[in-house]
Amino acid sequence: MTTYHGSCFCGAVAFEADGDLSEGTMRCNCRFCRKMRYWEMKLPDPSGFRLLKGEDHLAETPLTFPEGTDMHHWFCKTCGTRLWTQGNIEMLGGQVVMVCINALDDVSVEELAEAQIYFADGAANAWENPAPETRHL
């Protein structure tokens, strides 16, 4: 387990997240993830996320998801950097926090290159299945 430090491009928002890139990351082929170039790491424990500064700079992308899902996608309203997603996602085991890999400040290029990526088929509302095509993700 590593404590990663993350922030937005302009520095208004900063956070810490306890996770492990070697446990894998995820990209998805759904419309939202494709447009946002979303690449995330699910934290093993949602309490491992700590906002350090910038709550007043946060904005949320409102989304409608299948019944029983409560997701909140947070970004910096000053510079637009995607930061994390949190919510209650039954198919992922309940309460989750997933940090955007692009917002992590202290991850080496080598760690990023070695991180395993699961490509989910969110476009078919079947996140548990691999996406049929991933070259564009």
Is residue 129 situated within a structural domain?
A: no
Structural domain containing residue 109 = 2-123
The model's pLDDT over 93-129, given as tens digits with 9 standing for 90+, comes to: 889 999 999 999 999 999 999 999 999 998 898 888 9
Is residue 131 situated within a structural domain?
A: no
Residue 3: name the closest of 21, 17, 23, 22 by CA. 17
Question: Is the pLDDT score of 137 beyond 70?
Answer: yes
The model's pLDDT over 70-96, given as tens digits with 9 standing for 90+, comes to: 788 999 999 999 999 998 877 778 899
Per DSSP, what are the bridge partners of residue 49?
A: 17
Is residue 137 situated within a structural domain?
A: no
CA distance 86 to 5: 17
Between 9 and 36, the more confident residue is 9
Sheet holding 49-53, edge to edge: 2-7, 14-19, 49-53
CA distance 4 to 129: 28
**Band of the pLDDT at 68, cuts 50, 70, 90?**
low
The model's pLDDT over 6-17, given as tens digits with 9 standing for 90+, comes to: 999 999 999 999
Arithmetic mean of pLDDT, 37-53: 95
Is residue 68 situated within a structural domain?
A: yes
Total count of domains within the chain: 1
CATH number of the domain where residue 25 is located: 2.170.150.70
Arithmetic mean of pLDDT, 46-71: 86
